[in-house]
Amino acid sequence: MAKAKRQKRKIDTWKTKKWVDIMAPPMFGEQQIGETFSSDPASIMGRTVEVQLSKIIGDYSKQHVNLKFQVTDVQDTKATTRFIGHSITREYMRSLIRRKTTRIEGVSDVVTKDGVKVRVKAIALALGRAQTLQEKTIRKIMHDVAARYAKDLNFDKFINDIVVGRIPSAMYRESGKIFPLKRLEVRKTEVRSK
């Protein structure tokens, strides 16, 4: 007669998991930006978290700006992160783009004072139709302003100035001398070196 197989008792995996707080890097005040549920802290390493800037600084006029962070270290119930980029929401960009305007996009790879490579993608919206030479000049101004600020500032200050709007407003002032602009935004940044 065959013996009946004894079933193994299943371990409830939910009981082994615990909440881990995800903290912003020091450049954004090391405040909590999220939380996750995990049984193994190593499984959280490398995860990316996207948060609206308005939730970090409390200014709801900046809710169209999304910040991306990557988890770098987990200590007990706290996970530290590093900034890896920012972007502007698609809905906000669509609200700016209109007919009979010129859209000028520029991509710049810059190196900050402390040696971090950052890709800066800016967009300028001109009132009316700009000529090709004017578009090239505005693109060059956007690159020059980004490179100048990057050379003078360390990474944390450079990113803060982009996200808050100091660098885009400097680009807007200088580019507006070439052709009247409706708006100029840094729509995306990407950290290219760790």
Q: What is the pLDDT of residue 38?
A: 84
Q: Give 114-130 pLDDT, tens digit per residue.
A: 999 999 999 999 999 99
CA atoms within 13 A on the CB side of 44: 28
Supply 89's token pair: 């929401």
For residue 98, what pLDDT is reported?
87
Give the predicted TM-score (pTM) of the model: 0.84
Q: What is the mean pLDDT of the chain?
A: 90
Q: Which CATH number fits domain 90-191: 2.40.40.20, 3.30.479.30, 1.10.3720.10, 3.40.1160.10?
A: 3.30.479.30
**Greatest C-alpha distance within the chain:** 95
Mean pLDDT per 10-residue interval, the chain, length 194 residues = 67 77 91 87 88 89 93 90 94 90 94 95 93 95 96 94 93 94 94 82
Q: What is the pLDDT of residue 4?
A: 66
Residue ranges of domains in the chain? 18-88, 90-191
Q: Which pLDDT value is given to residue 1?
A: 57
Quote the pLDDT of residue 19: 87
